[in-house]
Structure 1
Amino acid sequence: MDFKLTEEQLMLQETAGRLVRDVYGFEQREQYRQSTHGFSVPFMQQLGDLGLCAVPFAEAYGGYAGSGVDNMLIMTELGRGLCLEPYLHSVIFAGGLIAQLGSEAQKARLLPQVADASLQLAVAVDEPQGHYQLHDVQALAEPVDGGWKLNGRKSVIIGGQSAGLILVSARTSEGARDDNGISLFLLDPQACGVQRRVFDTVDGRKACDLFLEDVFVASAALLGEPGQALPALRYQQGRAIAAQCAEAIGSMEAACALTLDYLKTRQQFGQPIGKFQALQHRMVDMRIELDQATSMTLYAACVADQADSDERRRVLAAAKFIVSRASRFVADQGIQLHGGIGLTWEYMLSHHAKHLLMVARQFGDDDHHLQAYAKLMPAA
């Protein structure tokens, strides 16, 4: 298999990397983090102006019909800069759901806006009792004259505090935890009966919990057929997992570079601490974990856009397990090798470490994906 990047992919990688280097210094990131949105709206618009938000979408909707590898290249650079913008949740996850489930009218109206970054989306599929299970949906959607009435609660919606539309899963039929009966709706967060509780996540990003009380949505807000949204949710979450693995790779690369630089400059007993063999071995262990995670991330990117199958799900579960494990290891070892400075808020490594710990638990932790992988193994 040829893993060489094409000329177009190299240009895409350089464009994303140069933009992040020019805009996302540590001081600028802190200003973005403390802003009302929790990220830089102008930077998100730059991503749209440069065509980076259009990469995953078909040409008919203003996109470039990019592959999972193209998404990987962008997400790696965003992870390297520890960018706060909800590119993953708005463009790849939510945009993918609309592209898969939406009617032609819905796709023609929404996808060009996502592609040029004039519309930010969010996805509300998790609930407090769900524990990574997409089919554990207790939010209800009841048919009423002209549309649906939504009731329930959704939790930890990344980017939901600033989204123009939120994609909400709700049960329209069947019992709790049943695979059938789950539908997906386009929700205006300013609608009557919607409340958002905004909070900061452990890595400094903003998210919200969503409370729905007799919220009316029109029939045109339904994505796809009633009760048939779960396969698309699982498929698009798989694409999001592959992209998130790439984001983690960028962050781990930056954390390893910061740690190596610190070992070369920190003096102890009259010499750089990087000369001590024990610390060299720990640095090598970090790079080994990173290289293994990078290989699995590339594999996941190659299968992310393939048709759904047990093999695709196995690869994505394995990639998420290995990347989650590597993320925790690199974060822990980076802090250990730095000492106390590695935990300070004013130093970039602490933010990479917190983000890597967050990544290890989004879309399912390593235990969840190890169990999923085991279930998908062919019988002996």
Structure 2
Amino acid sequence: MVDFTPSPLFSTERLSRLHRALDDINNDVVHLTALPDTGLAHDHVWISRETCPDWVARLPKQSQMQLDPETNLDYQAACFRRAAQSGHTPDLHGILPISADFPRGGLLVSAIEGRSAQLPDDLPAIGEALAHLHEITVPPVDERLPLASPCSPWTAMRDEVLEQAGYLDNAPVSDSARRRIDTELSLFDDDHELAKRVDSQRCLISFDAHPGNFLITSEGKAVLVDLEKCRYGHPGLDLAHASLYTSTTWDPASHAVLDTATVVDFYRHWWASRYTTDDVMDVEALVATRRAMWLWSTTWCAKWLSLHHQERDSLAQGEDWSAALSEDRLIAHVEDRARHYLSASVIERVGDDNHRLAHELALT
């Protein structure tokens, strides 16, 4: 269930300031508990309420999408509002205004009583949650803002990956690992037919669907609790993020190494939750987006290793990967994972896993 071990970075004085700020929004708050520091983008505080269900305050440390504080709050609020239609995300209840005490503001969302995902047992529940998210009706183009909905999601993904790949030159990457990454980056060489097929399958996606972002309720329902980066794109990016080695071994609470058969079953379960037996799975697009999501994650590791030693942004604007924003324990864990994922053995492993998955899915 919920871990109430408080974060030492969240002082009693800061909790008191938050309590005062919440009094202006809701007078039902009776107790605040800072939750463990488990992510690089937010602090979390459990809000115990006297007569109503509890909330959680999501207080940004930074914007992973390089947005200013006000735009970042608007974006995240839109993520929660739209994803709520899936029935597998927390509801949004309010916005904590930007202030001197909380220069990036915050969101107030439903508190979810649940445990960490245990793999592979909870993969079907995660697949169903994602299927419900992906089934949400895509609004007309002029109603999609503020969420990102590029003309070509495939091209936008390529541009993000290639921008992050620029950090590989200064990252701890062996020559053999770099050669394999460069080979994998050829995925984005001009292929208009693939881009057209990926772009034609647009839906609301999380873009951060790794298993550590799910809680499993007592009824076995998977709830996606982190909705900072939703956008309109290909659902294969979410399926990849939920089942890649670089995702399933990221969070210690949900750590697992999945074999190919388990991942194939996960894709098939998601497919059966969304489509009829007459529909044909576009295996090439699913595998291409899986490779793209892995490349995004791997190049992000190079970016983080290059930037986390920087001083924190004193103006609290936009993106900020400074280690000063998180506990030493968390930073040590992220550094360990980033270096591991950039190792030649892992890069070769994931590439081979994706090749086997493509073969097995093609047999469905």
Give the TM-score normalised by structure 2. Answer: 0.30
| Greater relative CO, 1 or 2 (CA 8 Å, sep 6+) | 2
- State which structure, 1 or 2, has the greater radius of gyration over its C-alpha atoms: 1
Q: What TM-score, normalized to structure 1?
A: 0.30
